[in-house]
Amino acid sequence: MERAKHLAETQSQLDRRAGVPGSEREEEGTGIHIPVLFQIVLDGLQVRPGGRYIDATVGGGGHAAGVLEASSPDGRLLGLDRDPAAVKAAGMHLASFGERVALVHSSFSRLAEVARARSFVPVDGILFDLGLSSLQLAGSERGFAFMADGPLDMRFDPQSGGPTAADLVNGLSTGELAVLLSRYGEERHARRIAEAIVAARPLYTTAELVDVIEQVTKKRERIHPATRTFQALRVAVNDELAVLESALPQAVEILSPGGRLAVISFHSLEDRIVKRFFRQESRDCICPPEAPACTCDHRAVLRVISRKPIRPTAAEIADNPRARSSRLRIAERIG
Ligand SMILES: C[S@@+](CC[C@H](N)C(=O)[O-])C[C@H]1O[C@@H](n2cnc3c(N)ncnc32)[C@H](O)[C@@H]1O
């Protein structure tokens, strides 16, 4: 209990430092990641001894350790992460599980291919815990946190060679930036912020970008005025929505009948994709309602377990502010 409390306190210090919504002050922290909705995820996946599981976003290995414990003595876990630093951290955290765990540096956009290569098909349960880990928020050098000054990078995989946040901020036109901020950040002041960015650039650091945003937005909002811009840039840099859309069908394809899929999302854009996918794949017919007869030949492959998204309790949010916006959806493979 004392240890849990200590972890929670450390987390909330970290969140304050990283500028996570709901945290008020800036303090020192150590980067410990507390897995959200931990027990509900394990129950939802119906983890059992001897089972085979994939954690598609292994992060610091918190959920993965829970799956490995609950599937003792012989359950196995394959963990993927797009961030090489996360794979390393998970490797250290999960070392005591020995051969029962395999970790791969990969985006979950290659989920089925990686699972086949590792003989993890069919699999009994798959978890996606989307977004950022506290490890990523803690280090200013990645550019994810707007309260810590660092380079405008934001790539989950710094080795990918893909565009950075600085490339987008300095290269897009005002119109393109406004669309990006509005679409991926649901930012009401998208146009105003885009114009200010273009007038102030080149911008290379998170602090420079935060400065520009603060100058053109009110500071009295519930969340920090840079929150939505940072979300939008991160989503765009990592093409997060398209990657999620491509991974969900692969997850269904490799699940065994009765296998469970659990997805934790942290903003409505992600949650909408998961909700629509679950709804579509749990229907026998997806013809438009006005069609006189079914012509789609679509067959349901999922049974939705959680009709409504599962949210953290007030107690969990108090212990771990990062859990605040989390939403869990669970479905089961049929057929
Ligand atoms: C919220 S953290 C996961 C934390 C983990 N559940 C735990 O308990 O430690 C999300 C992780 O997903 C990773 N990630 C984001 N997009 C990814 C993708 N397309 N493929 C694989 N990993 C991804 C991030 O690098 C990050 O480490």
Kindly report, residue by residue over 63-104, the tens digit of the pLDDT. 999 999 999 999 999 999 999 999 999 999 999 999 999 999
pTM: 0.90
CB atoms within 10 A of CB 81: 27
Secondary-structure class of domain 2-135+241-333 per CATH? alpha beta
Four-residue CA torsion sign, 239, 241, 245, 250:
positive
What is the distance in A from the centroid of ligand 1 to the CA of 329? 17
* pLDDT at 304 (0 to 100): 98
Q: Delimit the domains of the chain by residue range.
A: 2-135+241-333, 157-237
Nearest CA-CA partner of 168 in 190, 182, 186, 152: 152
CB-ligand 1 contact for 83 (6 Å cutoff): yes
User: Could you say which residues of the chain have pLDDT below 70?
Assistant: 1-31, 219-220
125 lines ligand 1 (CB under 6 A): no
Fold of 157-237: DNA polymerase; domain 1 (1.10.150)
Model pLDDT, residue 31: 63
> Could you tell me the distance, in angstroms and rounded to a whole number, from the CA of residue 218 to the centre of ligand 1?
32
Atom of ligand 1 nearest to the CA of 130: 10
CA angle 50, 51, 54 (to 5 degrees): 140
Testing ligand 1's pocket by substitution, the residue of 78, 108, 135, 156 carrying the most ligand atoms inside 8 A of its CB is: 156
